[in-house]
């Protein structure tokens, strides 16, 4: 939108909950080195690109910045030993018409951390919160609109789910209405058994912060493209 205070300038408005934040700030220089080395010209001096508010970034620079902003000491440990650095394959998917560049492993880790933070490590559909002695949460981060369908890695497209209900959610045996009522598929072979473990009020447990709650457009996609009915 046009900047009301500066003629011929514009502002980019970012929807709350539509991005993943860093754990710590990334300075312009770290130990005298630039994390974003693409700003250097052939002589090693900082180029004029540094003045551009919007500029392309290489996969190496992206991963270097992520290493700093998302250190390897997460508050909630991942379920597996796969951490940043084991998968550096860069790619350029389209996510909600926004080109993104990065490593799938990095984004998986950041997404899981933010989802578990939003839901306090508690399964949205069962209310269960299990943390083992090493600090690992049993709950998993589930995409509502799947990665394969270009679902974005943002909090409003995620749910914290225990393993069993995550499996059922991904296979369309369980879903959510726009007002967060739990919907069960008629194809479930033991609905009575499932009702014993899901929330007794029939509704999803939600994050305290409203901007972190599931967005209706992603819930609608899950019901239309995944739910078995």
pTM reported for the whole predicted model: 0.64
- For the chain, how many residues are written? 229
pLDDT at 72: 58
Higher-confidence position of 21 and 198: 198
Is the confidence at residue 93, as pLDDT, over 50? no
Highest-confidence range of 82-91, 126-135, 174-183, by mean pLDDT? 174-183
CA distance 93 to 26: 24
Residue 81 predicted with pLDDT over 50: no
DSSP 177: -
Q: Are 62 and 69 within 8 A, CB to CB?
A: no
Dist. CA 182–CA 161, nearest whole Å? 13
Contacting residues for 189 by C-beta, under 8 A, at least 6 apart:
none
Alpha helices (runs of H) in the chain, residue ranges in sequence order: 59-69, 104-118, 163-170, 191-195, 216-225
- How large is the average pLDDT for residues 68-86? 50
């Amino acid at each position: 939108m046009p900047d009301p205070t500066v003629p011929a300038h514009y502002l980019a408005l970012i929807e709350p909950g539509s991005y993943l934040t860093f754990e710590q700030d990334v300075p312009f220089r770290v130990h005298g080195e630039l994390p974003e080395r693409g700003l250097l010209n052939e002589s090693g001096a900082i180029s004029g690109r540094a003045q551009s508010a919007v500029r392309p970034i290489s996969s190496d620079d992206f991963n270097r910045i992520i290493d700093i902003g998302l250190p390897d000491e997460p508050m909630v440990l991942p379920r597996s030993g796969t951490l940043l650095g084991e998968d550096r394959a860069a790619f350029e998917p389209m996510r909600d018409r926004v080109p993104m560049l990065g490593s799938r492993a990095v984004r998986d880790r950041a997404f899981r951390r933010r989802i578990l933070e939003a839901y306090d490590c508690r399964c949205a559909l069962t209310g269960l919160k299990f943390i083992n002695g090493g600090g690992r949460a049993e709950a998993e981060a589930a995409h509502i609109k799947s990665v394969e369908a270009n679902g974005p890695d943002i909090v409003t497209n995620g749910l914290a789910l225990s393993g069993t209900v995550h499996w059922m959610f991904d296979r369309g045996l369980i879903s959510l209405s726009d007002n967060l009522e739990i919907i069960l598929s008629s194809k479930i072979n033991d609905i009575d058994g499932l009702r014993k473990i899901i929330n007794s009020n029939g509704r999803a447990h939600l994050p305290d912060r409203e901007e972190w709650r599931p967005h209706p457009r992603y819930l609608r996609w899950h019901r239309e493209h995944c739910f078995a009915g």
